[in-house]
Structure 1
C-alpha cells in the first residue's frame, strides 16, 4: 500500500513540475489528454486502495499547497468531465476555506429561502456556521476518494444551489445601497448555479460509467 502511495504522491504534490515536462505549449488536445489521464489515474488508484493517509493528503491538498497547481491540472477541462468535476470541487473547497464566514452567510440565507430537499442532500447541520461548512466540504471531498463518488457530487451540487440562492437574495438586498457589492453577489450566484448543474450532470454520467 505504501508503494502505491509513493507512485502517485510525487505528481500530486508538485503537478506543475510534472506538466512542465509533459507539455510546454498550449496545445488544447495535449492539455485535454493530460487532464483526463491524470484525473482517471489518480481516482482509480486511490479508490482501489483508499489508504487513509493518502486520502487525507488529497482532501487537504489545496489548503496545504494552494489552488494554482490544480488549476494547471484541470481548470481547462470540460465542466462535465472527470477532471472538470474534480476542479470544481477543489475550487468550491478553496472558496469555503478562504472565506468561511461569507459561505456560512450565503448558506444560511439560501437554506431559509429555498423550498427543496437540497439542505438534506448537502448534509450540513442547521444552523451551519463557518466551522461546520469547512467540515462539510472536507467530508464531501473525502467522499470523492473513499465513498460514493456520485453522491459526493450531488451533495456538492445541493450546497451550490443553496448558496446560489443565498447570494441572489443578498444581491437584491444591496442592489440600491451598494450596487457594486450586489453585482459581486450576482456573479457568484450565477457561478454557483452553473456549478450545481454541472456537478449534477457529472453525477449522472458517473452512474452510467460515462464520466471520463
Structure 2
C-alpha cells in the first residue's frame, strides 16, 4: 500500500478485492482498521498541503459513499469509526449549512457550557462559517492533535443538538398543527448528541493510545 500513498485520495480497487461485498465480516473489519491506520499515519508523518487539501475535499469529489464503503460499518469507538463520523459531520454541514448554522447559533444562546469555545466557529456563525469550521476540523485530523480535532467536532455537534432541541420546542409551541416538524428537529438533535458522544469517546481513547 505504501506505493500508493502519493495519491491518497484514490484507493486502488485491488486493495479491497475480497473485502467489499465479501462474506467475512472479520476481514472487512480488519480492512477498515488497516486502511484507516495507514492513511492517518502516512499523511500525519508527511502532511503535504496538497494531499491534505485533497483528503479534506475527498467526499466533495467522490461522494460520501466512497468513505462509507471503507469505514461506515466499523465500531463507533474505533479509528475507522472516528474518521467516518468526521467525514459524515462535514458532509451533513455541507449539505445543509443553513440549518446547521441556525441550530449552532441557537445552541450557543441556550447552552451553558464551553462547547462553543471548544468548537471554535467564527462569530457571527453563518453557513460559510460552519463550512469553514468543518474543513478546519478535518484538516486538523491530518495535521494537528487528532484528539483535539475529535473534541472540536463533538463540541460542534453538542451545540447544534442543543439548538435543534430548542427549535423543536419552538415548533411545538407555535406549529401544533404540524407536529412532524418538531419531531424531525428532535431526531436531528438526538442524532447529533449521539455523534458527539461517539466522537468524544474516540478522543478519550486516542489520548490513552487505545483507539484502534
Shorter chain as denominator, the TM-score bin is over 0.9
Equivalent residue pairs, number: 209
- 2:194 aligned with 1:202, yes or no? no
Tell me the residue number matched to 2:155. 158
- 2:66 aligned with 1:76, yes or no? no
Q: Provide TM-score, normalisation by structure 2.
A: 0.92
Extract unaligned runs of 5+ from structure 1: none
Tell me the residue number matched to 1:117. 114
2: distance between equivalents of 1:179 and 1:20? 47
1: distance between equivalents of 2:183 and 2:6? 41
- 2:89 aligned with 1:92, yes or no? yes
Q: Provide TM-score, normalisation by structure 1.
A: 0.92
Per-residue CA shift, 1:61-113, capped at 9, x if unaligned?
11111100100100010001100000000000000011111111110111100
| Residue pair 1:97, 1:134 contacting (<8 A) in 2 also | yes
CA RMSD of aligned residues (A): 1.9
Aligned in 2, Cα 1:150/1:41: closer, same or farther, shift over 3 Å?
same
Tell me the residue number matched to 2:24. 27
Extract unaligned runs of 5+ from structure 2: none
Q: 1:170 deviation in Å?
A: 1.4
